[in-house]
Amino acid sequence: MPSLFKTGSALAATISFALAGTPETCSNPQTSCSGSSTNTCCFNTPGGLFQQVQFWDTDPVTGPDDSWTIHGLWPNSCDGTYSENCDSSRAYTDITSLLTAAGQTSVLDYMNTYWLSDDESNEAFWDHEWATHGTCVSTLDPSCYTDYSKGDEAVDFFTKVVSLFKTLPTYTWLANAGITPSSSKTYSLSDMNSALEKAFGAPVVLLCQDTNVVYEIYYGFHVTGNVQNGTFVPTTSTGSTTNCPSTVKYPPK
């Protein structure tokens, strides 16, 4: 799937001319949940433990049959607790228009392939993820921008979620370990975890539905600097645990 893995630098180049606002430049940035800083434009707090969450939807099917899809990016507190819906004044309801106006049509096209809802419109899903989680990211506050225009921070959020997702090819990592979707096979949860941890660099959390059907994954990160331009460092998803049994199903789409 070569189209799935574009480089973050190429994406960043696209962003730089499209957005009106510019995020604060962070000198000597600290890593969330380990460093300390009073500058919440360069230090993610209290939501410093980010989870990039993906779906494996099979009923109904969403997305390509050889890729997991995006659920979202969640800024949990360092102990695994979390806040939601942190700023109702920025609960934007037309993410499509914001991305289009910012010139991010390639990001929008990608979202319409890999960030899909199984029970509502894609737009409603994106609106929900932004309002519920994106508004709780301290480094995305409008005060962190020069020449800010309404919605700049939401465009940065969705662009970052997409670029981060492209670095986490769950399907490929599992396939490289001989774990592919099957209607007849079952797999050891330990084997799946080991394959993903080896590729990712930190433990992951797999979740099941219908008792033993794998359908979701959490990847944990701390961030050095701001979300827009900082470094995402793989880490354990503190506070999150699997609900899967030791043997699981990984059905095809």
From the candidates 24, 128, 133, 216, give the one annotated as an active-site residue: 133
Alpha carbons 67 and 253: distance in angstroms, whole number: 10
Q: How far is CA 80 from the centre of its chain?
A: 16
Rg (CA), the chain: 18
Residue 133 annotated in active site? yes
Residue 76 bridge partners (DSSP): 49
> According to the 3-state scheme, what is the secondary structure of 159-201?
HHHHHHHCCCCHHHHHHHCCCCCCCCCCEEHHHHHHHHHHHHC
Catalytic entry in 24, 129, 153, 216: 129
In the block, residue with structure tokens 């890999």? 114
Q: How far apart are CA 247 and CA 74, in angstroms?
A: 28
Active-site residue among 24, 71, 128, 216?
Answer: 71
Give yes or no: 222 in active site: no
φ, ψ dihedrals at 249, nearest 5°: -105, 145
- State the catalytic residues: 71, 129, 133
